[in-house]
């Protein structure tokens, strides 16, 4: 008689084999030493896993004699979680249905305006002492990342004698990305300034409570602080993370910003890209190309040579000149008598009454104003198609994991049932890893490490659904 496969023996040890198959396997074990040793090894493996999960099942003499842990406490935990989720969803729906006055919309954390206000307030409170902390962490995390990279490379060389050609190339790329650029000048202080008679010939990385440029920066300006002011000239791009960014001088490149407010009262050679709570281009401001921003409120009083694309949670007021198209999606739009749009006007609003176009406003192209009506996703066939594709993909990934890595897949599935410990670990990883990725990414030497962490994090989130589904299916279908 042929020996049984490892998978069949594992099913027998787990108590998931049919009764007839168990009887035949038990008879076979009395005459086959190889299968008997295999079953003993699998039984010992299950014992170790059970001890690690603090779930010690009683052992029996036969493979079918394994007892299974009770799952009554699991149903209780699931009921508690379902109640919490239901209560949270009801509260969320109640908040959405509330009629919040416009003046207090910023206080509603479930609205887009309230979310942006919360983000920038957190950034504001973090900025005064956060720059010093990040400067210290930059050196520490960068050094550790480089040491880990070199140490891992040494281990690979020690174990295999030499690296394969693709691995050597990957190591070279990571080392090149990890080393800081030599054409970069760093300044960190409570008050960082470039004097009016000073010229910085390299890219400037400035971090402080206030960053002020009155002179000339021949490269790019990377500014982190509470207030960033450009009164002089930046020959390259401006990248700012601040509570308030003010440009009254000249930026010959582009502006990339994540700020509470951006005020442009000077000259910009190219475009603005950013995520801000308030954007204002004053009447003396000039944008050489276009604007692409997501903001709370937008006020355009100056001149924009090309198109403007804005996504807002508040109001958009246009009283200046736009060379090409104006595309907006948000709450309200106002064009005053002095507004000039050289191309088409495309607006997506919630209510038509929130669009105000003065009689003196000039629109050279077409007007396309649409009212966005929120439709339930359950009425769209595409939703069910995507769900079917997702389910088929998850089943395929789970099947591949079970075939290629059966022991690891079973161990991970059983670890899901560790109760509140598994839930706490999942919440910690879900919330902690993004913070670690951001902190590592802020340090220039940690960008490759942060990208690797992001890829692993996204893969882990997807696989977590597969393992939880396998655990629930096993719990529901396991024989009593």
* Per-residue pLDDT tens over the stretch 300-336: 999 999 999 998 888 899 999 999 999 998 889 999 9
User: Both 416 and 472 in a single domain?
Assistant: yes
CA distance 217 to 149: 34
Q: Is residue 369 part of a domain?
A: no
pLDDT of residue 418: 73
Residue 203 maps to a domain: no
Query: Does some domain include residue 235?
Result: no
Q: Which two tokens stand for residue 266?
A: 């000077």
pTM above the 0.75 mark? Answer: no
Residue 204 lies in a domain: no
In a domain, 407, yes or no: yes
- Within a domain: residue 127? yes
Domain span at 170: 108-178
Q: Within this chain, do residues 439 and 387 fall inside the same structural domain, yes or no?
A: yes
DSSP H or E segment with residue 207 = strand 203-213
Examine the domain organization and report whether 94 and 151 are in the same domain: no
Reading the block at residue 118, the tokens are: 């919360």
Mean pLDDT of all residues in 16-38:
79
Least confident of 17-26, 31-40, 105-114, 470-479: 105-114
Residue 23 domain flag: yes
Shared-domain flag, residues 431 and 459 = yes
Q: Within a domain: residue 359?
A: no
Full DSSP string of 215-230: SEESS-EEEEEEEEEE
In this structure, are residues 13 and 38 in contact, taking their beta carbons and an 8 Å threshold? no
Question: How many independent structural domains does the chain possess?
Answer: 4
By the 8 A CB rule, do 281 and 302 touch? yes
Residues 395 and 457 in one domain: yes
Same-domain check for residues 44 and 80 = no
Looking at the structure, tell me whether residues 455 and 403 fall in a common domain: yes
pLDDT value at residue 139: 52
Average pLDDT, the chain: 75
Q: Are residues 60 and 125 in the same domain?
A: no
User: What is the structure's pLDDT at 76?
Assistant: 57
297: region left, alpha or beta (phi > 0 left; psi from -120 to 50 alpha):
beta
């Amino acid at each position: 008689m042929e020996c049984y496969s490892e998978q069949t023996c594992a099913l027998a040890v787990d108590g998931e084999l049919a009764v007839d198959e168990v009887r035949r396997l038990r008879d076979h074990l009395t005459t086959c030493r190889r299968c008997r040793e295999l079953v003993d090894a699998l039984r010992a493996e299950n014992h170790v896993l059970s001890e690690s999960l603090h779930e010690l099942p009683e052992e029996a003499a036969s493979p079918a004699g394994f007892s299974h842990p009770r799952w009554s406490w699991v149903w209780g935990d699931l009921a508690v979680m379902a109640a919490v989720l239901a209560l949270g969803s009801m509260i969320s729906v109640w908040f959405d249905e509330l009629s919040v006055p416009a003046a207090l919309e910023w206080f509603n954390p479930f609205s887009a305006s309230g979310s942006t206000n919360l983000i920038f307030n957190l950034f504001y409170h973090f900025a005064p002492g956060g720059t010093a902390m990040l400067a210290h962490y930059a050196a520490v995390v960068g050094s550790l990342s480089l040491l880990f990279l070199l140490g891992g490379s040494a281990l690979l060389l020690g174990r295999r004698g030499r690296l394969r050609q693709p691995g050597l190339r990957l190591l070279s790329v990571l080392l090149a990305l990890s080393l800081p650029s030599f054409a970069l000048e760093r300044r960190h202080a409570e008050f960082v300034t470039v004097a009016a008679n000073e010229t910085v010939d390299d890219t400037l990385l400035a971090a402080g409570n206030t960053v002020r440029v009155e002179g000339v920066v021949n490269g790019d300006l990377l500014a982190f602080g509470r207030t960033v002011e450009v009164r002089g000239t930046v020959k390259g791009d401006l990248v700012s993370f601040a509570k308030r960014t003010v440009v009254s001088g000249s930026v010959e490149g582009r502006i990339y910003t994540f700020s509470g407010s951006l005020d442009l009262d000077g000259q910009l050679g190219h475009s603005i890209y950013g995520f801000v709570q308030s954007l204002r281009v004053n009447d003396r401001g000039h944008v050489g190309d276009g604007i692409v921003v997501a903001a709370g409120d937008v006020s355009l009083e100056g001149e924009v040579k090309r198109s403007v694309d804005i996504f807002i949670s508040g109001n958009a007021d246009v009283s200046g000149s736009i060379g090409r198209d104006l595309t907006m999606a948000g709450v309200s739009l106002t064009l005053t008598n002095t507004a000039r749009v050289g191309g088409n006007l495309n607006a997506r609003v919630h209510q038509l009454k929130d669009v105000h176009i003065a009689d003196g406003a000039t629109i050279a192209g077409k007007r396309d104003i649409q009212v966005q009506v929120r439709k339930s996703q359950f009425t769209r066939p595409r939703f069910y198609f995507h769900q079917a594709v997702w389910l088929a993909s998850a089943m395929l990934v789970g099947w591949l994991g079970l075939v290629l890595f059966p022991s690891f897949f079973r161990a991970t599935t059983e670890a899901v049932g560790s109760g509140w410990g598994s839930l706490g670990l999942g919440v910690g990883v879900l919330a902690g890893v993004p913070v670690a990725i951001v902190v590592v990414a802020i340090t220039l030497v940690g960008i490759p490490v942060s990208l690797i962490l992001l890829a692993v994090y996204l893969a882990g989130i997807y696989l977590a659904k597969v393992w939880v589904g396998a655990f629930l299916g096993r719990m529901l279908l396991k024989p009593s």
